[in-house]
Amino acid sequence: MQRNDDGSVSPAIQARFQEAIQRFQTECFWSWDLSRPVATHDIAREVIRQLRLHGGKPGWQAAADLVQCL
């Protein structure tokens, strides 16, 4: 999965991030608008940051997997 030149995130990567947001909604994304797409790398990095900050060990592991997508 490669980065798009315009800074956008491919649909396949967006789906992986959306799955993580749904999985960790209670711990990390309680105020997140679930309809908000992870359309840019800036948003993707914010998801990773929230997973690391509030997700405990499972969040860190999920963030490590997602970092590989970027």
pLDDT at 2 over 80: no
- Rounded distance between C-alpha atoms, residue 4 and residue 30, angstroms: 29
Per DSSP, the chain holds a count of helices (H) and strands (E) of 4, 0
Flag whether 16 is in a domain: yes
Q: What is the pLDDT of residue 5?
A: 57
Residue 40, classed as helix, strand or coil, is strand
What's the pLDDT at 1? Answer: 42
Number of domains in the chain: 1
Residue 27 clears pLDDT 80, i.e. is over it? yes
Q: In this predicted model, what pLDDT tens digit does every residue of 31-59 receive, in sequence order?
A: 999 888 899 999 999 999 999 999 999 99
Structural domain includes residue 4: no
Residue 6 forms part of a structural domain: no
- CA dist., res. 28 & res. 48, Å (int): 10
